[in-house]
């Protein structure tokens, strides 16, 4: 018998059972016609013994799966009960304690939804591993309803409706923690979407699967589904191209963030670049703005300063960049670091002074302090030691981290020492009465006048 992790293939996806003459069997027509009792029993007996005449390719239920004798008795008993043969309806007492399950399965048979019956029976059967689908009344009824809809839609050839019904079943199961059964339904939806010949149905199916996976936090699965949607839309369904681009860009940026958090900066940059392309292709300005920000920040951290400047400047010049004040401040700080590393100190100072004068910088943890410290370092490089000291003092005033404060104190001390050295050298080389007076004051007080 199959384990709970290896659930049977799709039962509701078959196009409808047909006899060897190509016409629908009485099972497909339901059980409403009077005088059809004996024919019904024959068909149910044939189904239970695997001799319906159906094509194995269309019957997607796992008929080759080995089942226990109790499971077989219950399945045959339910079929007999549905056919009106009470004498044959003998159920195993140990496996039929759940009368609700029994009734739900029986209702599916009576309604003529044989494929739905097979699938629900197998999903709720206790397997050799001892595992069983955790099915309360709401879950059983949800599966009953959606499997019935899927089977009816399958007979009409409506793949989109089949996928929608099976997707709803997967969503319900995932909410209840039945991940293995939910995975079974998700896979069946993907199989149907792949086989569908209708482009619109395919794009809708992949979109539904992608949204479901994204909602559950399965970003890799969601990205694959939306990529498939994009490929179909680009080739055969252009009206769905913009939505596909939006989904691809949104999930791509989430993947980029996830990779960056795990330390995979190269992967994060690649994912953000792909997301940026999708956002551009779909003319989604908000996502393009976010992609520019993420790319710029990741490229700056990766040491690619020039490329980072390109994306960060696009971000701060956009409407979205102007509206997001905190991200705007972070981008300014990154631009300052990039320009400093490129040797353009004036532009770096421009972005930093612009940043420290804004009130937003105070709301971003550590940003004001680090910006003041960076201004101090730049002023020190430019020989403006007194100005550097002032920026370091301001940095100390705005930091709450002891380790950060200690580092700033060291930088401030170095700036003061450099300033004193410069003053001393100017006094010695100047050799004027004023310079001599400064040196005498330094000797007496221990502090060299500026």
Quick: pLDDT tens for 60-93. Answer: 333 333 334 445 556 565 555 555 544 344 444 4
Q: What is the pLDDT of residue 264?
A: 95
Q: Over 60: is that where the pLDDT of 36 sits?
A: no
pLDDT at residue 32 tops 50: no
With beta carbons less than 8 A apart as the criterion, state whether 297 and 263 touch.
no
Residue 245 pLDDT: 96
- Out of 36-40, 180-184, 237-241, 362-366, give the one with best mean pLDDT: 237-241
Give the number of other Cβ atoms within 10 Å of residue 36's Cβ.
16
Q: Tokens at residue 190, please?
A: 């993907």
pLDDT at 9: 37
Mean pLDDT of 355-370: 73
Identify which has the larger pLDDT, 58 or 306.
306
Average the pLDDT over 417-433 and give the result.
Answer: 66
What residues contact 304, with CB distance under 8 A and at least 6 apart? none
Regarding predicted confidence, which is higher, 125 or 345? 345
Top-ranked range on mean pLDDT: pick from 175-179, 185-189, 258-262, 354-358: 258-262
- Alpha helices (H) in 237-356, listed in sequence order: 241-261, 265-281, 285-301, 305-317, 319-323, 325-341, 345-356
- Better-predicted residue by pLDDT, 260 or 206: 260
- Give first-to-last CA distance, the chain, whole Å: 90
Specify the pLDDT at position 58: 36
Report for 130-139, 211-220, 259-268, 410-419: range of highest mean pLDDT: 259-268
- Residue 363: the pLDDT is 64
What is the mean pLDDT of the segment spanning 36-61?
39
Tell me, what's the pLDDT at 446? 61
Closest CA to 104 of 73, 67, 147, 45: 147
Average model confidence (pLDDT) across the chain: 75
Position 54 confidence tier, pLDDT thresholds 50, 70, 90: very low
Residue 222 is predicted with a pLDDT of 93
Those residues with Cβ within 8 angstroms of residue 12's Cβ, 6 or more apart along the chain or in another chain: 115, 116, 119, 147, 150, 151, 153, 154, 162, 165, 166
What pLDDT was estimated at residue 326? 84
pTM for the predicted model, two decimal places: 0.62
CA distance 296 to 285: 16
């Amino acid at each position: 018998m199959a384990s709970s992790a290896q659930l049977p293939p799709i039962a509701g996806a078959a196009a409808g059972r047909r006899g060897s003459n190509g016409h629908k069997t009485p099972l497909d027509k339901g059980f409403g016609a009077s005088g059809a009792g004996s024919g019904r029993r024959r068909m149910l007996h044939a189904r239970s013994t695997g001799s319906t005449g159906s094509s194995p390719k269309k019957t997607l239920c796992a008929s080759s799966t080995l089942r226990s004798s109790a499971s077989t008795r219950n399945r045959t008993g339910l079929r007999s009960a549905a056919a009106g043969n009470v004498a044959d309806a003998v159920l195993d007492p140990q496996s039929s304690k759940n009368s609700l399950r029994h009734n739900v399965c029986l209702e599916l048979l009576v309604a003529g939804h044989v494929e739905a019956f097979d699938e629900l029976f197998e999903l709720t059967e206790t397997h050799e591993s001892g595992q069983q689908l955790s099915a309360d009344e709401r879950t059983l009824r949800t599966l009953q309803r959606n499997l019935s809809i899927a089977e009816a839609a399958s007979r009409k050839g409506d793949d989109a409706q089949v996928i929608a019904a099976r997707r709803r079943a997967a969503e319900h199961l995932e909410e209840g923690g039945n991940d293995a059964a939910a995975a079974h339904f998700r896979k069946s939806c993907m199989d149907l979407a792949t086989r569908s010949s209708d482009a619109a149905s395919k794009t809708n199916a992949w979109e539904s699967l992608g949204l479901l996976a994204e909602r559950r936090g399965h970003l890799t699965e969601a990205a694959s589904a939306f990529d498939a949607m994009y490929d179909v839309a680009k080739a055969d369904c252009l009206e769905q191209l913009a939505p596909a681009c939006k989904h691809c860009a949104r999930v791509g940026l989430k993947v980029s963030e996830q990779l960056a958090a795990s330390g995979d900066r190269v992967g994060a940059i690649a994912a953000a670049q792909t997301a940026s392309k999708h956002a551009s292709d779909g003319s989604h300005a908000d996502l393009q703005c976010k992609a520019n920000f993420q790319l710029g920040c990741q490229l700056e951290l990766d040491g690619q300063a020039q490329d980072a400047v390109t994306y960060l400047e696009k971000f701060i010049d956009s409407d979205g960049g102007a509206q997001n004040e905190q991200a705007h401040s972070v981008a300014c700080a990154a631009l300052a670091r990039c320009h400093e590393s490129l040797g353009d100190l004036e532009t770096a100072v421009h972005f930093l002074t612009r940043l420290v004068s804004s009130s937003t910088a105070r709301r971003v943890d550590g940003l004001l302090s680090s910006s003041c410290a960076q201004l101090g370092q730049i002023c020190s490089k430019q020989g403006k030691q007194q100005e550097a000291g002032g920026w370091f003092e301001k940095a100390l005033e705005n930091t709450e981290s002891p380790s950060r404060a200690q580092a700033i104190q060291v930088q401030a001390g170095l700036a003061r020492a450099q300033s004193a050295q410069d003053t001393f050298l100017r006094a010695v080389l100047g050799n004027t009465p004023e310079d001599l007076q400064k040196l005498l004051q330094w000797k007496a007080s221990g502090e060299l006048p500026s």
